Amino acid sequence: MQNAKKNYYFEFLKDYHSIKGTCKNDELPKLLLHVCCGACSSFPLPFFVDLFDITIYFTNSNIYPVEEFNLRLNELKRYVKFINEKLNTKIKVVTDEYNYENFKMDLISFKDEKEGGRRCKICIYKRLKRTFDYALNNGFIFVSSIMTVSRNKDVDYINEVGELINKEYPSLKFIHSDLKKNNGQDIGVEISKLFGIYRQDYCGCEFSFLNK
């Protein structure tokens, strides 16, 4: 008999209540949050902002070409500026260096696979690994990603690989999530339409671009 699948929304609630119990007074726990674009962040940022002191880590060298990378980054910054002004918050954005040519070397062997296959799994792993590296070297404890907001992403894999990488970084804590729960993606689409946030029509790499 197979084990029942985890409900990662409930796992998130357990993580959060455990973390919150360690905070002093009304202090918000500091979270390094991997974000892939402005559109996907439209629901998660309002969701997380009352729960965590957020620093966004934009580590997305999977995005091709560089003009697309800059477009997604600028849309994210525009949305963050709005959230900070509207909600009186201080979400920060840290941008990792862009190096697509190096990034794609691990993907090219699987260039002909459909989206969601090994190429995508490697891509997710590489970006989460960069996020953990940055967290370790910059004083963070809690790490998560907004990629679970998309129905096109494997929520189980994202959380499982987060747990796997976390074993290499015992001083850090990966926060589980399933942000598409409770209509998260649908709400995000409506928010992005309301604010005119650019919504890309391919995941990121040139292979998804060519096959769109």
Using CB atoms within 10 A of its CB, is residue 125 exposed (0-12), middle (13-18) or buried (19+)?
middle
- At residue 4, the pLDDT reads 61
pLDDT of residue 2: 46
Is residue 54 within 8 A of residue 92, CB to CB? The reply is yes
Two structure tokens written together for 185: 């993606």
Does the global pTM surpass 0.85? yes
Strand ranges for 110-206 from DSSP E: 142-145, 173-174
User: What are the extents of the domains in the chain?
Assistant: 28-210
Q: Which CATH class is domain 28-210?
A: alpha beta
- Residue 100 pLDDT: 96
Quote the CA–CA distance of 109 and 79 in Å, as a whole number: 35
**In 10 A of CB 140, how many CB atoms?**
21
Instruction: Tell me the per-residue pLDDT of 38-71, one tens digit each, with 9 for 90 and over.
Output: 999 999 999 999 899 999 999 999 999 999 999 9
Buried b (16+ CB within 10 A) or exposed e, 37-62: bbbbbbbbbbbbbeebbbbbbbbbbb
Q: Please, what are the averages of pLDDT over each run of 10 residues along the chain (212 residues)?
A: 74 90 81 96 94 96 97 97 95 98 95 91 98 98 96 93 97 96 90 92 89 70
Which residues make beta-bridge pairs with 55? 32, 92
